[in-house]
Amino acid sequence: MKLHYLKEDAVIQLRENMLNNIEYYRYSDSWIDSYLTEQLGTNQWYLESNVSYKKTNLIIPTGNSREASKTDAENSKRIHRSLKSLTPAQAIDPRIWTYLTHNVYQEYMSARWLQNQNEISKGTLERYFANTNRELIRNGIARLWWYGWLTYDPSRDNPYELTDFLLSNQNLAQGMLERTIGNNKEWLVNILDVILKYKDDYPSIIHSDNIKKFTKYLNFSGGVILLDCLDKPELEMFFLRWIQKEKIPQRALVIV
């Protein structure tokens, strides 16, 4: 089937009235068709693209936010597979993701982002939209596709190995992708491969505090070094210098 996307006036209608529509968002049942048909005076509130896709069955999260985040890696792979023909140029179109969050994966969205039905905020509802770069990586479905696209590496035995690794640690995922540096696919694959290489020798590098320190170091260094231009060996040396700077302890050797 072909991927649909919202018309611009439909996006505007939803965006401007999202807080008025909180009661609709509380439930996973589809409400968009009747709502937009009534508000816009037409049932033609979406368009058809030339992108082929097949709706995938996402894992519906349960439990608190930490438990729910454990489904991100598998769901990222499922969304990426279902939209494998989508290009990055097409994937920055907010109308696609606003359609998918509101009209295709509304059950998943409700379970993943609206666990506390009594405390739905503007920030939470913004995960249904993708009007800015920051919203794009926070959008409930777009983020899953971008995680998959940025980390998919067909040269590996498991092409989604880095997807699993990135999403095994929410601080790592946020640190790498909620910054502009995460938009460089080759750079991200290389730096994740380097971290993966040293995580057994230096187990604490993937602790939350150290991930935050490393991403801060990346941002600071990015003002001095063209990080995107570093090849993999240079990135490895960059990472090892950071390990030495922070005095990250090496795993103790077990003597038999």
Judged by DSSP in three states, 50 sits in strand
User: What string of DSSP letters covers 159-189?
Assistant: TTHHHHHHTT-HHHHHHHHSSGGGG-HHHHH
Phi, psi of 63 (to 5 degrees): 85, -165
The counts of H helices and E strands in the chain are: 16, 2
pLDDT at 152: 95
pLDDT at 70: 92
Average pLDDT per block of 10 residues along the chain, 256 residues long: 95 95 85 96 96 94 87 97 94 96 94 85 91 85 94 95 92 74 79 94 91 87 75 94 93 53
